């Protein structure tokens, strides 16, 4: 039984005839999304050496062949690769390397991916949740590079997240841990995509912003947001755009979003006492328009000194965090991380 996330790897070094030689083995990260499958060869230092992308076809055999024969085989050409990690949005049984459920990716659900893809590629293949991998990417190569305790919260169409505590990625008993977007922040709140009510995702995602914007626009038809809503349903990015132009109603929508986010962040601080909370995803582009009220709520609901010392900063890897984090989570046939646990720690 191996310990997940623990211990430095020795796989990068072996004794050759002329002494100790450092082997430069890379790993492949594959980001499987509902519309595209992107993969990259990543070096131990986190350099993206090669990248390919193919559209997703939500049919079992086509998903498997696109991942194995198109994406992995193509991106690997010419590189020495020690393992592959697939990241998928949804509920992932990481210890079984199986996707339990993934919206818009039903074709991949339930497949024993390690066996199916290992046989086709000749490589060790593992599977992780996309947000957990993104958190690991930020920890290894991005906003959390210099800390041991990091939380990543991604605010996009949904809300994802991952927790690194004392340098270990929190996965839980089945590998489903770290679903930060599905903690309840409002018991009677709006219905979430997961079926629950009042999840953080239902109140602080881009989708939640759009829903809130539509409601507020009806109440304030004379506002810039109200005038836009008379023509079409406002999107999250419309709200951000109008808020930047000074529309008070749009500013209020983002302020309220930040309050719900802050309630979630306070819970994370109280449980995990992180050094850094990195915030990523499209909504994070709103910056202080969301984060000011989030920080205020965090102060009200978490405790000193953790609340005073935690640093909330923007994630730095952007859309590449999934591929980079996945590669850094790829393991070899001995279950050791191909890229090592850390280059600096």
Residues interacting with Zn ion, by CB under 5 A? 182, 192, 194, 196, 199
Count of C-beta atoms within a 10 Å radius of residue 210? 18
| CA 183 to each of CA 197, 200, 202, 224, 261: distance values in angstroms, whole numbers, following the listed order | 10, 6, 10, 33, 11
The nearer residue to Zn ion, 196 or 306, going by C-beta atoms, is 196
The nearer residue to Zn ion, 58 or 196, going by C-beta atoms, is 196
Q: Which residues pair with 88 in a beta bridge?
A: 129
Please report how close the Cβ of residue 183 comes to Zn ion at its closest, in angstroms.
8
Please report how close the Cβ of residue 267 comes to Zn ion at its closest, in angstroms.
14
Count of C-beta atoms within a 10 Å radius of residue 39? 28
Radius of gyration of the CA atoms of the chain, in A: 21
The nearer residue to Zn ion, 113 or 203, going by C-beta atoms, is 203
The nearer residue to Zn ion, 192 or 312, going by C-beta atoms, is 192
Please report how close the Cβ of residue 101 comes to Zn ion at its closest, in angstroms.
12
Q: How far does Cα 112 stand from its chain's mean position?
A: 22
Cα separation, 97 vs 129, whole angstroms: 10
The nearer residue to Zn ion, 34 or 189, going by C-beta atoms, is 189
Structure tokens given for 310: 């935690």
Count of C-beta atoms within a 10 Å radius of residue 267? 18
Please report how close the Cβ of residue 295 comes to Zn ion at its closest, in angstroms.
24
Q: Scan for tokens 């690194």, then name that residue.
A: 164
Listed residue (99, 115, 110, 112) closest to 32, CA to CA: 99
The nearer residue to Zn ion, 200 or 315, going by C-beta atoms, is 200
Please report how close the Cβ of residue 246 comes to Zn ion at its closest, in angstroms.
33
Please report how close the Cβ of residue 298 comes to Zn ion at its closest, in angstroms.
21
């Amino acid at each position: 039984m191996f310990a997940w996330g623990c211990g430095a790897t020795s796989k990068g070094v072996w004794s050759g005839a002329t002494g100790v030689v450092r082997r430069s083995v890379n790993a492949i990260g594959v980001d499987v999304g509902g519309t595209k499958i992107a993969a990259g060869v990543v070096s131990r230092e986190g350099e993206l050496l090669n990248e390919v992308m193919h559209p997703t076809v939500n049919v079992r055999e086509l998903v498997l062949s696109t991942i194995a024969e198109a994406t992995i085989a193509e991106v690997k050409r010419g590189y020495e690769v020690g393992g592959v990690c697939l990241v998928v949005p949804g509920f992932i049984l990481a210890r079984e390397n199986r996707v339990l459920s993934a919206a818009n990716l039903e074709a991949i659900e339930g497949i024993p991916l390690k066996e199916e893809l290992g046989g086709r590629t000749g490589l060790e293949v593992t599977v992780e949740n996309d947000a957990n991998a993104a958190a690991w990417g930020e920890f290894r190569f991005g906003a959390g590079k210099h800390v041991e305790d990091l939380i990543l919260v991604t605010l996009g169409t949904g809300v994802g997240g991952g927790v690194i505590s004392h340098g270990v990625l929190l996965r839980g008993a089945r590998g489903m841990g770290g679903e930060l977007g599905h903690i309840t922040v409002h018991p009677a709140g709006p219905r979430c995509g997961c079926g629950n009510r009042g999840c953080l995702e239902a109140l602080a995602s881009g989708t939640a912003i759009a829903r809130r914007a539509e409601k507020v626009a009806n109440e304030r038809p004379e506002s810039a947001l109200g005038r836009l809503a008379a023509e079409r349903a406002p999107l999250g990015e419309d709200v951000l755009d109008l808020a930047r132009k000074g529309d008070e109603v749009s500013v209020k929508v983002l302020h309220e979003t930040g309050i719900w986010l802050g309630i979630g962040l306070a819970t994370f601080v109280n449980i995990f006492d992180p050094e850094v909370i990195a915030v990523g995803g499209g909504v994070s582009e709103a910056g202080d328009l969301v984060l000011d009220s989030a920080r205020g709520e965090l102060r009200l609901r978490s405790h000193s000194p953790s609340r005073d010392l935690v640093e909330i900063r923007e994630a730095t890897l952007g859309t590449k965090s999934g591929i980079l984090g996945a590669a850094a989570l790829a393991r070899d046939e001995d279950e050791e991380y191909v890229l090592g646990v850390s280059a600096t720690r």
